[in-house]
Amino acid sequence: MAFLNASDEQEVRNQFERLQEPVKLVVFSQSLGGAADLCRENEQLVREVADLSDKLSVEILNLAIDRERAEAYGVDQVPAIVVEGARDYGLRFYGVPSGYEFGNLIDAIIVASTGEPDLSDDTKASLSALADDVDIKVFSTPG
């Protein structure tokens, strides 16, 4: 069964008109274990989204096999999605981003594509002066 109906697809297509640079959605899955079903759902959702713009591509990796890639991305859970624009901006999703998180996935794709965060000049100045790494985890539930 598809995640997105025709109305969802049209809405996302409209939002994707803002895309500029190509974005790669790097998906980490596992074919065995308790998360296998969720990983398949996640892959399907990501493929449905990527089909809505020719600026989007998908790469499916296996957390157990592609360990070096997972380590390089700092990914240690599945299902996971890395949203990579002109460079890796550090955008990660753990879990199937359906429901509430779906809008955030679309927003992440757009901001990774434009490279232009919607933040005040003061915030951008403070962030560009950071001397240490910042890891922000945001826990939510499926909508």
Partner 1 sequence: MRLAQHMSVASDRVRSIAIEATEFPDLSRAYQVSAVPKIVINDRVQFEGALPEAQFLAAVLQAVEESA
Binding site for partner 1 (CB under 8 A): 35, 38, 74, 77, 79, 85, 89-97, 101, 104-105, 107-108, 111-112, 115-120, 122-124, 126-128, 130-142
State residue 107 phi and psi, 5-degree precision: -60, -40
- CB of 6 or CB of 122, closer to partner 1: 122
- Least Cα distance to 92 among 135, 34, 49 occurs for 135
**Peptide bond before residue 22 is cis, with ω within 30 degrees of 0:** no
- CB of 6 or CB of 100, closer to partner 1: 100
Query: Residue 89 CB, nearest distance to partner 1 (Å)?
Result: 5
- CB of 44 or CB of 104, closer to partner 1: 104
Query: Residue 6 CB, nearest distance to partner 1 (Å)?
Result: 26
Alpha-carbon span 3 to 44, nearest angstrom: 8
- CB of 6 or CB of 136, closer to partner 1: 136
Q: How many Cβ atoms are within 10 Å of 59's Cβ, its own excluded?
A: 14
- Least Cα distance to 26 among 83, 102, 93, 103 occurs for 83
